[in-house]
Structure 1
Amino acid sequence: MSRGMSKRRTTNTAPAARESEATTFGDYTSSSRGSSKPNAMDQAIIEKIKDHPCFSREAHLYFARMHLAVAPACNIQCNYCNRKYDCANESRPGVASNRLTPDQAVRRAMAVASEVPQLSVVGIAGPGDACYDWKMTKATLIAIAREIPDIKLCVSTNGLALPEHVDELVDMNVGHVTITINMVDPKIGTKIYPWIFYDGRRYNGIDASRILHERQMLGLEMLTERGILTKVNSVMIPGVNDEHLIEVNKWVNDRGAFMHNVTPLISERSHGTFYGLNRQRCPAPLELNALRDRLEGATKVVRHCRQCRADAVGLLSDDRASEFTLGQLPAEATYDSGKRHAYRQLIEHERRGQTSETTDATIAVSLARSNATLFIAVTTKGGGRINELGQAKELQIFSVCQKGIGLIGHLKLDPYCLGGWGEETTLNSIIEALEGIDFLLCFQIGIIPRNKLARRGVQATSAYGNAYLEQAIDALYTAYLSRGGFSGAS
């Protein structure tokens, strides 16, 4: 099947060229450039990432994060950024409904930790820069650590002010930091950053990019030396830094970055960014996935990122921020750990089952001895199972071939079941977004949407409802090969 993936309503997904397929086994990655086996990862690192949804593909199926929008000030200007407040319809970094004080942030965190059992991480990701607006960040992190001592702490930063705060991050037991690094060549940086504010003055042009680059590399090296896991985010900007990100990957890998997360530029004109207003194009899904494949190697490549808002709450696939606005918070801040502790006991049992099934599925696929590659979309609301009905807001996209089962990314969707109105229009948009996908695995599907999908070359089935994702994909792939095709089932 050689159809190309539609760009409409698509994020972080697309089938890459079938002869160049990188695949992910849980949290371990293999490709034609080499492989990393599960036993190659230090047990201490596994413990750090096993419940962090941003640092572990497996963890994002079970665990939730919370971003506290307490750091509105920023020390650089990016051509792709426009910080906004009270923008409920924009889902991208730098956007938040409200700016919080540290006291408000702690109240919100305690409420969420009491009511959202999946919560495992509280982070500060702006909407400005967490390390530049340090007074607000520090006050919030100290209070969170005191009131919710069993939560992980995380910070996202552009890196300019990072070096001067690394020791404090260590003292506060912040175990994970994300740095956005878009260039290592200052000449390319001039096309991304109009100015920075550093050491009491404003810098423009090549000087700004040079200082930013030096500070980012220093901060990354300091984090590595102190044992803090670092994820590097890079925005892929076609014609600006797309090819250059190969070099960025080498630099950050040499300096100890644990993960590299290449995300697509978001530049809709309505967002009001420099790139948006000047019609800088976003990368096509095929371009993004091909670049990620080229980066696979010693540094883990992230494929499950959602480019979250600065006030996101919940599982990566299910934002619940609207349930915890300031007006909805209890007057007295209290924290009840009961739900979270009970959930963790349940998940430990669930994950053991999934790990066993995933291992069996991976082995079975590798023994198939077939050159066929399929692209499979699945509906899930968490838990690593096919368990979502018509309210799915996204699909996870996997590739499966003899090399294994690999997560490629996800497709954002409008929910299909809308109570009887607008469903035909929504279904048509879903079908368009699924262009290039071979199979859709869902918990349940009606005859009409299944037939419409079939006419567009997408075979949908609910035969694997509630099964583990990899187990279902393995079963479908085996059936596909044994029958020389697949007729589907409702």
Structure 2
Amino acid sequence: MAQLIPLGSLGAPTSAETMREALSGGGCSSSSCGSSDGAGDLPPELWDRIKDHPCYSEEAHHYFARMHVAVAPACNIQCNYCNRKYDCANESRPGVVSEKLTPEQALGKVIAVANEVPQFSVLGIAGPGDSAYDWRKTKATFELVSRVIPDVKLCLSSNGLALPDHVDEIAGMNIDHVTLTINMVDPEVGTKIYPWIFHRGKRWTGLDAAKILHERQMESLDLLKARDILVKVNSVMIPGINDEHLIEVNKVVKGKGAFLHNIMPLISDPAHGTHFGLTGQRGPTAMELKALQDRLEDGTKLMRHCRQCRADAVGLLGEDRGQEFNLDLRPEEVVYDPSQRETYREIVAVERGEHVAVRKAASAEVSGLQAGASVLVAVATRGGGRINQHFGHATEFQVYEASAKGVAFIGHRKVEQYCEGGWGEDATLDGVIAALEGVTVVLCAKIGDCPKDSLTAAGIEATDEHAYDWIEAGIAAWYAARYAPAEQLLTA
């Protein structure tokens, strides 16, 4: 099978032919791939608003990239899981940045990215402080970018404390996506998460602080809903503090109209210097996170593909090209060229049509087998919805569940890259195997005998037999070969 160029590597200068080959591998034509319909049960007008937003649409995250600009350093609350002073180019977590930007510098960076990353569709401001509290810089940045690139979607993240003061301005701009971080709806729980807040010129602590924050967050939800602004709620899962409580949080935010609920695992490495990290508060395991998400399937629609991005992240989810566009690497003046993004959108519409059809067929195939087995499948992918990455090159695995319900994406597992310069480290492989807890099989483009044998010894199958297939098609083929009853195989 021909080698595919990964979506994540597309950049200017790139011809339409190269883009088309990168996306389809030569196997798709506009007359045979169907439409780009991927709305499912969503109303068409809602699908149109989220279809190219990688954070609001799981389907879109295979094709479109986000960009965060770090223009809002000031924050009005302290979270026990946050330390914005920490900065490491290799660290991926909220609040981390390599450089803080003025609105004018941010505009230059956005133009540079738009010219080089044709997948770019969403500009977000997620700090490193709070975008609504540092509103003057947030607003100025969005205004500058909208004049130059009017089609880019604008998105902001906030803790909700200051947001009600600016919701009318938000509604008057091209901002129809807002993310609110809500970790509690019971202020008593909030006292264990927030040591203080700063509101109306005064620092508040304890229960008073948690009550004010809760009230303002609920007000933010109501005001945004009234103005038809889509809201994604982020919640950090903190075992022993709010893990069970998040069931109630999900119920409340659903009742107030949140479109998505994203439950993220606590990151509490002591090296980050956070309160939770230094006091030994652990984060949830991947299976604990999945168990909670599974309990909430009947609540607000869940986002399971979050990567807990840096506040200066650039690129497809799961990658970060931000370091390529730092100030010292960019020309002082750059002119926006829309041609790459326009060409990409035309081509990807066809590719998405084929992928949607494959996803539906794969789920129907798996559910139709009536095998009864529910298994987790880890996939090494570089983007584009394909099984297109070498096992040893993966820094994360996308995890799918194959069951009587079909094939569904359920999350990802971050790992340290096993193969560096042609060699693999045993200690690194041990870490990868540990990260694949609960996984039955790994599908990848290539895998060596040594890691394959180690995975087998750990009870995890690994295969490259489905290299460069669509992810869902590869999963369905593997599942059918392993679990289909003999009578179904004979009649297939």
Per the normalisation by structure 1, the TM-score is 0.89
For residues 351 and 431 of structure 1, the distance between their equivalents in structure 2, rounded to whole angstroms, comes to 32
CA–CA separation in structure 2 for the residues paired with 1:424 and 1:78: 37
Q: 1:466 to 1:421 in 2, by over 3 A?
A: closer
Structure 2 distance, partners of 1:187, 1:462, is 50
After alignment, is 45-54 or 122-131 more displaced? 45-54
Return the alpha-carbon distance in structure 2 between the equivalents of residues 100 and 151 of structure 1.
19
- Correspondence for 2:420: 418
Q: Following TM superposition, by how much is the alpha carbon of 1:432 offset from its aligned partner in structure 2, in angstroms?
A: 3.3
8 A contact 2:191–2:207 mirrored in 1: yes
Distance in 2 between residues matched to 1:327 and 1:341, nearest whole Å? 28
Cα separation, 1, equivalents of 2:424 and 2:459: 23
Q: Is the 8 A contact 2:387 2:471 kept in 1?
A: yes
* Paired residue total: 448
2:264 matches 1:263: yes
SS at match of 2:400: strand
Query: Residues 119-159 of structure 1: CA distance to partner in whole angstroms, max 9, x if unpaired?
Result: 10000000000000001101001001111111000000000
Q: Measured at CA, do residues 77 and 383 of structure 1 come closer, stay the same or move farther in structure 2, by a change above 3 Å?
A: same
User: Contact 2:53–2:121 (CA<8 Å) still a contact in 1?
Assistant: yes
Aligned to 1:318, the other structure's residue is in SS state coil
Deviation at 1:85, TM superposition (A): 5.4
Offset of residue 482 of structure 1: 3.4
Q: Any idea what SS the aligned residue of 2:439 has?
A: coil
Amino acid at match of 2:106: A
The equivalent of 2:151 in structure 1 is: 150
Counterparts of 2:445 and 2:285, CA distance in 1? 29
Q: CA deviation at 1:68?
A: 0.4
**Residues 19-57 of structure 1: CA distance to partner in whole angstroms, max 9, x if unpaired?**
xxxxxxxxxxxxxxxxxx965311111111111111111
- 1:183-238 superposed Cα distances (whole Å, 9 cap, x missing partner): 11111111111111111111111111111111111111111111111000001111
Aligned-residue offset at 1:298: 4.0
* Candidates 461, 469, 472, aligned match of 1:470: 472
1:481 to 471, 480, 483: 483
Which has the bigger relative contact order, CA under 8 A and spacing at least 6? Answer: 1
- 1:352-400: per-residue Cα shift (whole Å, max 9, x none)? 0001111111111111112111111111111111111242211101110
* Unpaired stretches in structure 1, ≥5 consecutive residues: 1-36, 485-490
Moved more, 212-221 or 412-421: 412-421
Mark the CA change 1:480 to 1:421 in structure 2 (over 3 Å): closer, same or farther: closer
| Cα distance change on mapping 1:364 and 1:421 into 2, 3 Å | closer
Q: Does 1:369 align with 2:370?
A: yes
- Give CA deviations for 1:87-145 in whole Å, capped at 9, x if unaligned: 22321111101111111111001100110011100000000000000011010010011
SS of the equivalent of 1:96 reads coil
* Residue equivalent to 1:391: 393
1:441 aligns with 2:443: yes
Seen in structure 2, the aligned counterparts of structure 1 residues 422 and 364 have a Cα distance that, compared at 3 Å, is closer
Letter in 2 for 1:91: S
Indicate the residue corresponding to 1:358 in structure 2.
359
Instruction: Give, in angstroms, the shift of residue 436 of structure 1.
Output: 2.5
- Structure 2 unaligned segments of length 5 or more: list them: 1-37, 487-492
Question: How much has 1:451 moved relative to structure 2?
Answer: 2.2
Q: Structure 1: how far apart are the matches of 2:39 and 2:269?
A: 40
Q: Which residue of 2 aligns with 1:174?
A: 175
Question: Is the 1:157–1:178 contact (alpha carbons within 8 Å) kept by the matching residues of 2?
Answer: yes
1:36-115 equivalences under 5 Å are 40-84=41-85, 86-115=87-116
Alignment pair present for 1:248 and 2:249: yes
Q: Is the 8 A contact 1:85 1:98 kept in 2?
A: no
Give, in whole Å, the separation in 2 of the partners of 1:421 and 1:382.
24
Out of 48-57 and 434-443, give the one that drifted further: 434-443
TM-score scaled by structure 2? Answer: 0.89
Distance across 1 between alignment mates of 2:384 and 2:200 = 47
1:205-216 alignment to 2 at 5 Å?
Answer: 205-216=206-217
Report 1:275-424 matches (<5 A): 275-389=276-390, 390-424=392-426
SS in 2 for 1:168: helix
Structure 2 residue identity aligned to 1:363: A
What percent of counterpart residues are identical? 57
Provide the rounded CA distance (Å) in 2 between the counterparts of 1:346 and 1:46: 19
CA distance in 1, matches of 2:87, 2:178: 26
